[in-house]
Chain A
């Protein structure tokens, strides 16, 4: 069902987006601030504007959807804040190239700041946003899209920076090459850039997108807030909320204190690893990341891996922590969420399974991995 997204929905939305961002996707609170200001600016009589969120089932052949997003290193985003005009400029550049105006925008991923970039564009341009995305979570690279898996070309892609410069990348049907070219440009622009790509009509959205992930983020964010307000154990509340969604399953992998975070900004990504030490034993959980958390091991045994979602939550509050804010001393719960079936098919795993990240491990669904006894926190 379509609905109006209001200013007061943003805190829940970004909390849920941080969860689905599985450590990456960029600090969603920056996105929240940008959207909040755009809504206040566009409102009348002190009443902030709202954004129409379209259910994908309501799209028609006449709809022309152009997703908008940020790409780059989350660790750069938290310092080098945007001017706020870049994503709409990228959209305008792609519209000019295609000779056609968008009737709606959409997230390419339902995590981190990229849940909010289309909202910013929507607020600035008065466009609706489609309640769907192409990752069902966040991934670090632009070809890692269900859109791409099921036959949509990312090209042409338009990019914009805060100086008003734009570029169009067209690699035809080769989405990997599109990613590679765009990444090179993003590094030149300081490690973060804003893009419009994967233009498609309504039926294509219905065929290739993960549906209703904006409303899911909203709901999971509300779940975490309500758990805190009622002093409920946050992961129990999350498991319950996930049960009747496409994601079905969530589980606690580990609890402990962060004792090491290694982090580098390279090639337009934030890469590294974190180590979490159990409270009451010598067990160590290691989580590697490329923007997003990719693999979690406990004492060198894999307990969850991409494309299943690995999240790190503040132990007491359940608030999700992103890879660029994780730091020594944080007390955390490592929580995994099963990815939807649409993202576990052989062709999907070829695009964003472990091998796509150069990992040797075969993908095994998180709910099927035998795990060491979860450490009970002391």
Chain B
């Protein structure tokens, strides 16, 4: 048995799975401390279907907590961005173009120091340890507790980042350190941004990961605990603590993979309707389609691999208004206060959920208060929501043929069983907890990352063997062989080593075999 948990901004969902079979699901409100919401969800799960915690073999958690902290510019550690690159690079300093609220929230402080490598392995400048110690002393004065260190060409040679970290922590032993070569790829600005974002989240990650471990232990769950990563694979809790940025895209990834799993569709559009927004993504051949344009998280340019998602401000808690005969939906929402403020829950705010109940699309709460709603408003509001969501699906579609649409998320009760332009509309069992299911059916990943000698004319053969090795690792880790795909191939020539030395990084992922016997 496995437990999948999704900690969203509004709800914490939990599912209990045995192989491919969903034994029970539940929804609870997310709490500020994260962990008590999880306890509520686990208690509810236990009530739905009693299980022995000792029989659970793995707990998989997907969370948008970390990306939300960046989006909301809240709960961030005072952070330094230290770059090794002087006398080059000063024309585009660290944190350039970061939005003000984020800079303020992280009390972000840039430091430009000497160091960095040339592409061919020469030094741009050696480290000036005095300069680094002065930077550390300044950080101490400013109360900085976390640092992101980025050195020019560190994917080729990482030694200066490690050395600088050692010097800084001599002065500030408790400083959290994030090193760019462990987080990003070539492209200094994007890698540096991802590293600083990671640094901003390090304290929060410590806190959340410690809380998670403790909470689950107190519940009697001794199974290994994993967090979902951007590509749908899992990382252990200790890795998550150090690399919280790796969870950033796990929300949409889990929802799309969960939807594909529940509906049995390999290629479809997925509409995930929450309390505040509807997110539309595309699953092609079982994988979420990746965003290809510049990915910016809250105004910060990065080069993360993220699923391609379009959002609109329509959710279960969206406020409904009428002015001059025109009905509007959202974009503001009562959010997690839906259960106090919506008419069907005895409140006095007209929400999208009230329209769904009045229109006969859903049975939620007490239908009496919505009977007095103007029928015209109800019809216009529901039509508007269906049209807007159908429009998003249309925008995401890249082939002329209509796609099947899978509706998931608690708010998907707002949508009708037919959408304009959709080949068909699916509302699979357990649709409301697709994210938690996505977490529980996580994929396994396998990576090869080392330096190969690429003799002239042998490149294809070397790449093929690296791909095979990555594939073998995924299968060895429990993936179904036919499901394995190569998702990333990265080559960095290491010019300062002899023999055409090249750092080759290949990443493969595959579906975990989900039969009970294979469960570990």
Contacts and interface: CB of A to CB of B under 8 A. Distances in A.
Contacts of B488: 328-329
B118 A190 contact: yes
Contacts of B399: 377-378
Contact of A30 (B92, B152, B292): B92
Nearest to B485: A329
B299 interface: no
A315 B463 CA distance: 26
B91 A34 contact: yes
Provide the main secondary structure of the chain B interface: loop
Contacts of B461: none
A260 B490 CA distance: 9
A101 B293 CA distance: 42
B153 A79 contact: yes
A373 interface: no
B92 A82 contact: yes
Interface residues of B, number: 41
A85 B493 contact: no
Interface string B80-103: 000001011111100011000000
Chain A, interface size: which category? 35 or more
B119 A82 contact: no
Interface in B455-501: 459, 463, 486-491, 493, 495
Contact of A80 (B89, B395, B459, B490): B89
Contact of A81 (B89, B301, B308): B89
Contacts of A76: 119
Nearest to A187: B120
A78 B188 contact: yes
B89 A83 contact: yes
Contacts of A37: 91-92, 96
Contacts of A314: 292-293
A261 B502 CA distance: 14
B188 A264 contact: no
B186 A79 contact: yes
B490 A190 contact: no
B144 interface: no
A257 B88 CA distance: 36
A80 B292 contact: no
A76 B186 CA distance: 9
Contacts of B96: 33, 37
B292 A79 contact: no
Contacts of A30: 92, 189
Contacts of A260: 463, 489
19 contacts: A30-B92, A33-B92, A73-B119, A79-B153, A80-B89, A81-B189, A83-B89, A190-B122, A191-B118, A231-B394, A231-B395, A262-B491, A265-B120, A314-B292, A314-B293, A327-B489, A328-B489, A329-B487, A378-B399
Closest 3 pairs between A and B when the two form their complex, measured CB to CB: A84-B91, A328-B489, A81-B89
